[in-house]
């Protein structure tokens, strides 16, 4: 269960949207599964329904969930794939930017950096065999 960071810098509606996104990625919410309503989310997290609705709207706008009139909101069939692609790109880009910044600070050139990455990848492969 998500514990909202009420005092954090990230708006609550974004935290709600990210919680639902994670539930889609980890297959807690499957394609075409019904998503909590804004009123259910408001009750679960003790927040204003409008705040919860704003989080759901983000997901509708991103085509990760869809509305069925009179029935509620449901997970889009391709939501998981979209989210995996989005998170891979965002996470890897952020990590690479941080890695390059640190490598520059330490004077590590590209060849050395790639050798380190290759070595660690091989270790991981050997460990999973």
Residues 71 and 93 in one domain: no
CATH number at residue 37: 1.10.10.10
* pLDDT of 129: 61
Residues 91 and 71 in one domain: no
Contacts of 98 (CB under 8 A, 6+ apart): none
Q: Which helix (H) or strand (E) holds 59?
A: helix 49-61
Three-state secondary structure call for residue 20: helix
pTM (global) more than 0.85 = no
| Token pair listed for 77 | 């069939």
Residues 55 and 16 in one domain: yes
The total number of structural domains in the chain stands at 2
- pLDDT tens-digit series, residues 55-109: 999 999 999 999 999 999 999 999 999 999 999 999 999 999 999 999 999 999 9
Residue 1 maps to a domain: no
In terms of residue numbers, what domain contains 62? Answer: 12-77
Kindly write down the DSSP assignment for every residue of 77-124, as one continuous string: TTHHHHHHHHHHHHHHHHHHHHHHHHHHHHT--HHHHHHHHHHHHHHH
- Which of 2-11, 35-44, 115-124 is least confident? 2-11
Q: What is the mean pLDDT of the chain?
A: 93
Compute the distance between CA of residue 17 and CA of residue 53 in angstroms, rounded to an integer.
10
Residue 31 maps to a domain: yes
Residues 63 and 24 in one domain: yes
- pLDDT tens-digit series, residues 25-56: 999 999 999 999 999 999 999 999 999 999 99
């Amino acid at each position: 269960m998500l514990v909202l960071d009420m005092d954090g810098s990230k708006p609550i509606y974004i935290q709600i949207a990210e919680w639902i996104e994670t539930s889609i990625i980890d297959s807690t919410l499957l394609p075409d599964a019904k998503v909590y309503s804004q009123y259910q989310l408001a009750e679960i997290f003790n927040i204003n329904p409008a705040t919860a609705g704003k989080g759901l709207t983000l997901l509708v706008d991103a085509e990760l969930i869809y509305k069925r009139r009179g029935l509620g909101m449901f997970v889009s069939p391709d939501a998981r794939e979209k989210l995996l692609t989005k998170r891979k790109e965002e996470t890897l880009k952020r990590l690479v930017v941080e890695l390059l910044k640190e490598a520059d600070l330490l004077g590590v050139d590209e060849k050395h950096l790639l050798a380190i990455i290759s070595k660690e990848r091989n270790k991981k492969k050997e460990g999973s065999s």
